[in-house]
Structure formats: structure tokens, C-alpha cells
């Protein structure tokens, strides 16, 4: 039967790894994901996992090991954050281009400079076009559930695409929660046996991995790569549904909170959504018709589904925990606003950046956003398209 354990976010990822027991786990420690690697190493030392644990000299090398092991036919995972993910940059594109179902746990952390070890989404948002599926977690329970589902999604024969699971650095990675850990055998049954496609260790077939590819076929091969991530939405939905049927916690593309009769809405991902729910409850008690939409899947972006959920509203605020210098708005905002473009009428959409470098966002900040949305809904005018929350300026 399932058990309740008090774990932090890093430990929940390691617990999921212990239960799945991949063939190869390659990682280099970096704050705030270090405890994922440490706990996996301890599991290996204690004989609780049978897969190979490799700690190479850098994150670039760690992803290189993952690529080699996955190409050979193994089930593979890694974990990193911030500058570590940035050091993997070259290899992220190679892993996706080779359609290797690697799973990575990312304890989201700000990118330098200046140096900061706390949580924001600049690391994974910087990798948003690398070809990886991206899943984000509100709390430790979601981090555990998402990481287990990631193997099923990545390894599906219609997908065969790497998946990263984000959990906010320190806010989730180091916060203790009571989570429901399922039985080892039931997790193994849910994930299933890994079936590699064209493994290099199958010497009965002659194949080439990562060949030189000029103008004759490069374009076609990149188009082929897109098939995996384009096929992912249906698989993500199905895996989330099956997970709910088996363990009682279903998952989809996003969560809607008090949206039934909402006239305005805040869109925010990851741990901040928990604080936003408290703000929504207080605002509802004050008679405000406001709701929350919390995206779980950022890549592939569920544009049609999110647009359908938001199209009837008067005003929407999209909150980003990263910036996109020189662009018309931050990453999540541009996706949401673009998804609504063809709808007429459509809500007014504004963008606020929050929480860079781990800066707190509190209930009162969400209430500030709600007040601005009320004004937009009342007047139909947007005076400030892009702004910042809890910033000294």
C-alpha cells in the first residue's frame, strides 16, 4: 500500500528514481539540485537501486553520458539546475534531435550574472526551444508524480522525446512536505519495461547515430524530430488519466481553480500557484469573480486548450518568473497571448514578471494584480501591458 513520507522536493525526485530504477543515472551536483544526486548516490551505495550511477566532471559530460547510455538502449535520467543546465546547452539539442527519451529533474534556479542560487525559471525557459518536453510542479507531491509520468511520456513510441520536470529551487527543492509515496511494485508496473528503439548494443543491425547531415537531409530530419513533440499532447493526457485511475491523482495540461464563473484570471506556474490560490480564496470572499489557471505543461504548449479556458474572460494577467530581454513580453505571456489571437472577442492580456532570483511573491501581490484586472475589465483599456511585482524601482 502507499505510505506517507515527509520529504523535500529533491528527495521526492530521488524517491521516484529509486522506484523506477533507471539503467543509468548520470549527474553532476549543483545547488539547489545537489541533494537529488546525493540521495541517489546513497541509494546506490545501500544497494537500493541496481542501475549504474555516474558522476562525471561536469554537467556537459553528464548529459553526454546520458546520450550515450540512451543511444545504447538504456532507460536514463539526470538532474541539474541553472548554470548546470546552461552548461548542457549543446547536448540538450543533441538529445532531442536524436529522439532519446532522457528524463531530467531541474531544481529551477536563476542564471548568472549576478550569481544567485535561488529559484526562478530563467534556466528552463532559456531551454524552451531545445526540443524537450517541459513539465512544471507546484509542490513536492506534483514533483514526485510528474517525474514518474515523465518516463512513460518520454518513452512512448509516438513520442521518443526527452522530458524535463521543473520544481522551484529552494521553495520546493528544500521544503519538507508530507507526500503520498506509492508502492514500489505499482510504480514499476505503471512505468513498465523499457523498450529501446534501434539500440546501439543490438549488433544485429547496422545503424549510425549522430551522422554528418548537410543540405540534402538535415531539413527532413529536423521535421521528423518535430513529430515526437507534436504527438506528445495526447500521450500526456492519457498518461495523466491513467495515473489518476491508478493512484487517485489525475493530471492534465493545466489546473483550473475557481474558474467556473470567473470574469478575470491570473495565469501562473509552479510554486507561486499555491500562494495564488490563497489570494483567490480571499478575493472570492470579497465578492471578486476571479480564478486561477496553472499551466503544468509548457512544452508542447497546449494553446488550444488554454485559449478555450480563457477566451470568455474580460481580463487575464500572465505572471512569469523569467524575462525575455528584447521580446514583447516574457515567455509564458507570449504563448498565452498568441494562443488567444484568433479569438474574437478575446480578453485583454497583461504581463507581470515576479520572483526573479527567489524574490518572494505574497498574497498581497496577487491582490494588486487582481485590482488592476478589475480596472481593465471595467474600462476595457490596458494602461500597462508589462510590469513587475515586488520590485524596488
DSSP 233-299: HHHHHHHHHHHHHHHS----SEEEES-TT-SEEEE--TTHHHHHHHHHHHHHHTT--EEEEEESEEE
Domain boundary among 247, 270, 305: 247
Indicate whether 316 belongs to any domain: yes
Give residue 255's pLDDT.
98
- Residues 64 and 202 occupy one common structural domain: yes
Instruction: Indicate whether 300 belongs to any domain.
Output: yes
Please indicate, yes or no, whether residues 236 and 279 belong to a single structural domain of this protein.
Answer: no
Residue 30 and residue 81 in contact, taking contact as beta carbons nearer than 8 Å: yes
pLDDT (0 to 100) of residue 22: 98
pLDDT for 269 beyond 90:
yes
The residue segments making up the domain with residue 287 are 254-388
Residue that the C-alpha cell 465578492 belongs to: 287
Residues 150 and 281 in one domain: no
Encode pLDDT of 123-165 as tens digits: 999 999 999 999 999 999 999 999 999 999 999 999 999 999 9
In this predicted model, what pLDDT tens digit does every residue of 83-116 receive, in sequence order?
999 999 999 999 999 999 999 999 999 999 999 9
The pLDDT score that the predictor gives to residue 211 is 87
pLDDT for position 326 = 97
Does residue 333 have a pLDDT over 90? yes
Say if residue 76 is in the same domain as residue 103.
yes
Q: Give the model's pLDDT for residue 393.
A: 82
Q: What's the pLDDT tens digit per position in 221-247? A: 999 999 999 999 999 999 999 999 999
Return the closest-CA partner of residue 98 out of 130, 136, 52: 130
Residue 340: CATH number of its domain? 3.40.50.920
Q: Are residues 88 and 8 in the same domain?
A: yes
Q: Are residues 228 and 265 in the same domain?
A: no
The residue written with cell numbers 500526456 in the block is: 236
With bands split at pLDDT 50, 70 and 90, how would you rate the model's confidence at 271?
A: very high
pLDDT (0 to 100) of residue 207: 87
The verdict on 84 and 135 lying in the same domain is yes
Is 222 found in the same domain as 355? no
Number of domains in the chain: 2
Residues 54 and 178 in one domain: yes
Pairing of strands 3-8, 176-181: antiparallel
Last residue in a domain, options 190, 224, 247 = 247
3-state secondary structure of 77: strand
393 domain residue, yes or no? no
In a domain, 237, yes or no: yes
Q: Do residue 280 and residue 146 come from a single domain?
A: no
What is the mean pLDDT of the segment spanning 7-12?
98
Task: Say if 128 falls within a structural domain.
Answer: yes
If asked whether residues 232 and 284 sit together in one domain, one would say: no
Question: Confidence class of residue 210 from pLDDT cuts 50, 70 and 90?
Answer: confident
CATH code for position 142: 3.40.50.970
- The number of residues making up the chain comes to 393
The model's pLDDT over 334-349, given as tens digits with 9 standing for 90+, comes to: 999 999 999 999 999 9
Instruction: For residue 154, give the C-alpha cell.
Output: 518520454
Does 213 share its domain with 309? no
Where among 210, 227, 247 does a domain terminate?
Answer: 247
What count of other Cβ atoms lies within 10 Å of the Cβ of residue 379? 11
Give the pLDDT score at 370: 98
Q: What is the pLDDT of residue 1?
A: 86
Amino acid at each position: 500500500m502507499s505510505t506517507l513520507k515527509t520529504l523535500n522536493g529533491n528527495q521526492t525526485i530521488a524517491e521516484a528514481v529509486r522506484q523506477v530504477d533507471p539503467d543509468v543515472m548520470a549527474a553532476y551536483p549543483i545547488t539547489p539540485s545537489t541533494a537529488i544526486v546525493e540521495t541517489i548516490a546513497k541509494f546506490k551505495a545501500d544497494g537500493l537501486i541496481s542501475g549504474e550511477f555516474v558522476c562525471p566532471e561536469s554537467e556537459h559530460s553528464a548529459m553526454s553520458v546520458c546520450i550515450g547510455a540512451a543511444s545504447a538502449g538504456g532507460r536514463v535520467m539526470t538532474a541539474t539546475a541553472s548554470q548546470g543546465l546552461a552548461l548542457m546547452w549543446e547536448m540538450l539539442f543533441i538529445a532531442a534531435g536524436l529522439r532519446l527519451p532522457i528524463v531530467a529533474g531541474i531544481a529551477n534556479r536563476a542564471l548568472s550574472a549576478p550569481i544567485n542560487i535561488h529559484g526562478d525559471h530563467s534556466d528552463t525557459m532559456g531551454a524552451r526551444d531545445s526540443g524537450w518536453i517541459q513539465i512544471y510542479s507546484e509542490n513536492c507531491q506534483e514533483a514526485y508524480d510528474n517525474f514518474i509520468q515523465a518516463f512513460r511520456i518520454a518513452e512512448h513510441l509516438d513520442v521518443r522525446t526527452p522530458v524535463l520536470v521543473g520544481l522551484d529551487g529552494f521553495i520546493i527543492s528544500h521544503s519538507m512536505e508530507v507526500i503520498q509515496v506509492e508502492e514500489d511494485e505499482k510504480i514499476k508496473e505503471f512505468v513498465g519495461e523499457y523498450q529501446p528503439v534501434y539500440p546501439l548494443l543490438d549488433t544485429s543491425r547496422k545503424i549510425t547515430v549522430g551522422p554528418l547531415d548537410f543540405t540534402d537531409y538535415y531539413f527532413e530530419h529536423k521535421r521528423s524530430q518535430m513529430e515526437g513533440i507534436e504527438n506528445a499532447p495526447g500521450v500526456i493526457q492519457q498518461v495523466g488519466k491513467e495515473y489518476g485511475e491508478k493512484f487517485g491523482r489525475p493530471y492534465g495540461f493545466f489546473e483550473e481553480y475557481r474558474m467556473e464563473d470567473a470574469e478575470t484570471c491570473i495565469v501562473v506556474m509552479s510554486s507561486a500557484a499555491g500562494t495564488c490560490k490563497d489570494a483567490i480564496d480571499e478575493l472570492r470572499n470579497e465578492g471578486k469573480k476571479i480564478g486561477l489557471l496553472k499551466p503544468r505543461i509548457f512544452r508542447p504548449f497546449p494553446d488550444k486548450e488554454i485559449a478555450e479556458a480563457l477566451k470568455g474572460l474580460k481580463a487575464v494577467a500572465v505572471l512569469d518568473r523569467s524575462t525575455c530581454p528584447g521580446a514583447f513580453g516574457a515567455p509564458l505571456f507570449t504563448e498565452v497571448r498568441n494562443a488567444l489571437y484568433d479569438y474574437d472577442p478575446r480578453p485583454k492580456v497583461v504581463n507581470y514578471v515576479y520572483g526573479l532570483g527567489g524574490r518572494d511573491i505574497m498574497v498581497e501581490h496577487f491582490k494588486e494584480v487582481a485590482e488592476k484586472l478589475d480596472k481593465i475589465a471595467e474600462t476595457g483599456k490596458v494602461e500597462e501591458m508589462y510590469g513587475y511585482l515586488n520590485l524596488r524601482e
